[in-house]
């Protein structure tokens, strides 16, 4: 089975709220906090933004807005994205359907 970090060598995941005991040591995982300014710069310089909402979370997130403003592809589990007037299936991949 191919892992996404092995398949796409330039991808990085900035993960927050992961207990030290559950962190996996991989070169594409980052567990340190990122300022919002730095996060915006990372999003701007990326090809794709991945958003994973917690169970019960509803509505549009900042990641969705950033993907739209920066004209980036969005991979998300947020079903609400399909209801947006500017939804384009060519730029969004909605998981969990």
Whose structure tokens read 């609400």?
A: 80
Whose structure tokens read 């500017």?
A: 86
Kindly list the distances between the CA atom of residue 83 and the CA atoms of 7, 19, 56, in Å, as whole numbers in the listed order.
31, 34, 17
- pLDDT of 45 over the 60 cut: yes
pTM of the complete model: 0.77
pLDDT-based confidence at 23, cuts 50/70/90?
very high
pLDDT digits (tens, 9 = 90+) for 49-93: 988 888 888 888 899 999 999 999 999 999 889 888 888 888 888
- pLDDT of 96 over the 70 cut: yes
């Amino acid at each position: 089975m191919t892992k996404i970090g092995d398949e796409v060598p330039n991808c990085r995941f900035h993960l927050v709220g992961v207990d030290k005991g559950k962190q996996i040591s991989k070169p594409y995982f980052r567990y340190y906090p990122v300022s919002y300014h730095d996060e915006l710069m990372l999003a701007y310089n990326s090809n794709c933004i991945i958003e994973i909402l917690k169970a019960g979370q509803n509505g549009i997130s900042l990641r969705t807005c950033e993907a739209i403003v920066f004209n980036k592809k969005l991979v998300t589990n947020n079903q609400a994205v399909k209801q947006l007037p500017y939804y384009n299936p060519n730029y969004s991949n909605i998981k969990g359907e």
